[in-house]
Amino acid sequence: MIALPYDYFLIAWFVLAAGSTAYVAFDQFNGNPEPTVMKWGFILVTLYMGPFGLLLYVLADKEPRPGEHEHFTSPLWKQGVGSTIHCVAGDATGIILAATVTALLGLPMWIDLIVEYIAGFSFGLFIFQSLFMKKMMGGTYWENVRKSFMPEFISMNAMMAGMAPTMSLLMMGRDMRAMDPLEFVFWGVMSLGVMVGFTTAYPFNVWMVKKKIKHGLMTERPEAPGQQHDMSGMKSEMGQMSDGQMSRMEGHGEQKAKKPGEREKSRGGGHQMGGDATTPQLAALAGVTSFLLISGMVLPGFSVNLGLSARDVDGSIMPPGMINTFDLPGEAMKDMAAVKPRQVAYVAAPDARGDKVLAPRIENGVKVFDIKAEIIRWNILPDVAVEAYAYNRQVPGPRLQVTEGDHVRINFRNALPESTTVHWHGLIVPNEMDGPANVTQDPVPPGGSYTYEFDVGQSGTYFYHSHDHPDRQQALGLYGALLITPKDPSAEVKVDLDYTIQLQEWLKREWLTYPAMLMEGALPNYFTINGKAYPSTDTVAMKVGQTIKLRFIGTNNNFVHPMHVHGGPFEVVALDGVNLKDTARYQADTVNVGPGQRYDVVWTARKAGKWLVHCHIPHHTANNNVEQHGGGGLMLVLNVQ
């Protein structure tokens, strides 16, 4: 899935890795004189490390000119590269296979790390070391297992000490698509982990090559008359080497001249190695690398929740700057995560408007409404679109207009990828119709439906919204106005115009839409009235002397918005759907509209001009911190002629 800018980098990286691997494979099997197991080692490592694997091959192993491989690969640093390549090729293959399987099985991250270590160590020891190198090392398979155990243990510990924290912190970091093998970023993290593991394992491998307990790079040429298979093409080259060059070939067992009493032996064309390391030295290396391994696997658990699996987090992408901790639950991550662009079911026209009146059907005297929740792409500005949760493909959802005393039925269908419900904010309804998930009803599952039916016994300004994960769903657009006309027309406040203002806060960063929340990293950077940010909000035409009822609805989740009208005070005539008595009405020019609150105010157009309606928190009248044409966000214009 292409979701973040670096996804394009990952695609380019994989293309380079494929090209690099193809080149190394072609060159290895078309003339580079070394054993087949090393050819495959370089191919696999280049597949995992991309251009860096190619770089190591060209600098350390690729024969520059015919007949020079022995001399070219003799420096100790190159021998260390060869030893590490062999280690990483086997161990990383086991680790990557294990990581893929454990992720698909939904195992927690801490179990994943243990399985990866066991798989990597087993694949490296039993397959790459003891089986693939059996012919070169000589002896039986189980002899090679025994002799390879300690070098492989040290090397694997060092490698996993680098890979484990890299994978843990990145997989359980901001972009948890990294836990899903079906995502590009999973393989990007694996590639980076292999590179870090190579780096941490390299110095230990150099030491082990120097002490002749691991093989480095080797040369294998076709047999010629009078030459042993394992020494072909080497004798003439060795005869031309200086003592210094010979000394740099320590660990290159099959190329070093035999001296009396040295431990290296050759049996049956093999390359067994004795080793100069002492038992205390090996014990120290085993202990230190074990400590590094345990630290690398445990310490990330102080920062991220290693108890979660790929299924628990469902590929969540967290907002930039969000603080992740080791006790953050997977459900919280999913609630705060970005909307996945690939889940968008409908793209609204850039100039589409929400809050459209939904006309009911009349069935046996019952007013019937059909509403559906799904994910859409919605423009809050001409050049800014959000992935929104929407009722009937609009933000806000359709306006439901009924009359006090009506019997209504709302057929709700859930096309979201998660469960949801609908709550009728402020209405007196039967308890089973109220909407709180797992309290008065079972959540409506994806693809499910639910019918809400009740008598309307109130009048005034109300709204409806999600009441299942409302921190996420309402913030992403699941709300709509519910306006109820009083049964007695004389109870209605008489005005010339009526305009509803539904407030909302949005978080759009790095192409993705997140539910805006009052917490670190999740604060909003866009604000809308009826689904649009100024200057895309409505301009309401009026004439001098006309009155307008402004219905402020706190459909937002987070802030108290001090809504102010220019051009003179207004009269507050209703609060939370209830008309105030004449003696209780009062004049003001600002009302603090909190989440869930409703204010009905009547404003009179006293003078001609463009009069603003806006939130009096300046940041809320900007678009991503920028003013456009005098403002942004929670602003609209009353244009009085």
| Residue at token pair 């994989």 | 14
Task: Give the helix, strand, coil percentages of the chain, each rounded to 5.
Answer: 35, 25, 40
Mean pLDDT for the stretch of residues 575-592: 96
Q: pLDDT tens, 466-482?
A: 999 999 999 999 999 99
- pLDDT above 80: residue 239: no
Q: pLDDT tens, 260-318?
A: 333 333 333 344 445 788 999 999 999 999 999 999 999 999 999 999 999 999 999 99
pLDDT above 90: percentage of residues in the chain: 81
| Residue at token pair 């705060």 | 336
- pLDDT above 70: residue 486: yes
**Taking a C-beta distance cutoff of 8 angstroms, is the pair 525, 325 a contact?**
no
Q: pLDDT tens, 348-369?
A: 999 999 999 999 999 999 999 9
What are the structural domains, with CATH classification, of the chain? 20-65+73-217 (no CATH), 346-492 (2.60.40.420), 505-640 (2.60.40.420)
Backbone angles phi, psi at 629, to 5 degrees: 55, 40
pTM confidence score: 0.85
Mean pLDDT for the stretch of residues 220-225: 69
Determine the pLDDT at residue 237: 35
User: What mean pLDDT, rounded, does the chain reach?
Assistant: 90
For the purposes of burial, counting CB atoms within 10 Å of the CB of 508, is it exposed (0-12), middle (13-18) or buried (19 or more)? buried
What is the 8-class DSSP label of residue 534?
Answer: B
Angle at alpha carbon of residue 185, lines to 48 and 128, rounded to 5°: 25
Query: Which pair of structure tokens corresponds to residue 17?
Result: 């890795």
SS3 of residue 503 by DSSP: strand
Mean pLDDT for the stretch of residues 620-638: 96
- pLDDT above 50: residue 410: yes
- pLDDT above 80: residue 61: yes
